[in-house]
Amino acid sequence: MNARAGAASPLDPEAIADAIDRQLRALAEPTTAAMRRVRIDYSRCLRTHSASDVLAVAEALAERHRWVAYELLYYHPSKLAQLDLAAVERLGRGISSWGAVDAFARYISGPAWRLGLIADANVQCWAASPDRWWRRAALVSTVPLNLRAAGGTGDSTRTLDICARLAADRDDMVVKALSWALREMVLWDPDGVRAFLAAHDAVLAPRVRREVNHKLASGLKNPTRRPLA
C-alpha cells in the first residue's frame, strides 16, 4: 500500500504495518517530526477504512513503533470507539519504558477511560499490578482526564483515587508519574490537591511534595531560582 496512493481494499494489516516499519527505518533522520509525517500520510489513506481495520494495523505495528501505532488509532475518525478492555490491554502488552507507557496512556488508555470504553475498576487493577509499568500506566491514564489539549475537563474523583492507591509507592517511575498526575489536577482542583498532600504527607516521596507544592504556589513544576545578588 502506497501511503500517497489512497486506501487499498481489502486491507492487509500485517502488510501495512510492515510498510510503515520499512518507511520509518529508511528515514535518513528518524526525528519525531519525520516519523510523524509518515504517520500522517498513513492516517490520510486509512481514514476511509473501518475502525477495526485500523486497530488491526495498530496491533501489528505496536511492538515495533508504539507511539506511531497509537497515533494512527487516536487520529482516526472513529475516535477510539472500537476499543474495549481487551483491545486496550493488547495494545499495552510489553510496555517496558517510560516512553512506551506514556504514549500508551496519553493516546490509548487515558482517552479510552475518559470516553467510558474502559471502567474505573480496570485502571484500579493496573494500579495494583506487580509490574511497575502498569502502575505507571494507571497514573498517566489520569492525565487525559485533566489535560485540556487531550479533551480533559477535570476529574478529581478518579484522579485522586488512583493517586491514593499509589501514594506510598517508591518506584521512581511511579513517583514521577504520581507527581505528574497531581500537577495536572492543580488547574481544576487546587484545594483537592492540597488536601491530598496533607492526607498522605507521611508516605509521599519528597519529590512529589516538592514538585506539586511548586505547581500550587507558582504554576510551575520547578520554578527558576532567582540569581544571587
C-alpha cell at 178: 504520581
**Cell numbers linked to 112:** 479510552
Return d(Cα 168, Cα 174) in angstroms, integer.
10
* The pLDDT value given to residue 79: 87
Q: Is the pLDDT of residue 223 over 80?
A: no
Confidence of residue 228 (pLDDT cuts 50, 70, 90): very low
- Contact indicator for 177, 139 with CB cutoff of 8 Å: yes
Instruction: State how far the Cα of 196 lies from the Cα of 98, in Å rounded to an integer.
Output: 25
pLDDT at 135: 98
Q: Where are the domains of the chain?
A: 1-82, 91-223
pLDDT digits (tens, 9 = 90+) for 142-184: 999 999 988 899 999 999 999 999 999 999 999 999 999 999 9
What pLDDT, on a 0 to 100 scale, did the predictor assign at position 97? 96
Is residue 72 within 8 Å of 87, Cβ to Cβ? no
> pTM for this structure?
0.90
With a cut of 80, say whether residue 45 has pLDDT above it.
yes
pLDDT value at residue 224: 65
In tens, the pLDDT along 68-124 reads 999 999 999 998 988 999 999 999 999 999 999 999 999 999 999 999 999 999 999
pLDDT band at 7 (very low <50, low <70, confident <90, very high): very low
| Percent of the chain topping pLDDT 70 | 93
Phi, psi torsion values for 86, nearest 5 degrees: -60, -45
Average pLDDT, the chain: 93
Amino acid at residue number 149 = A
Say which CATH topology domain 91-223 has. Answer: Leucine-rich Repeat Variant (1.25.10)
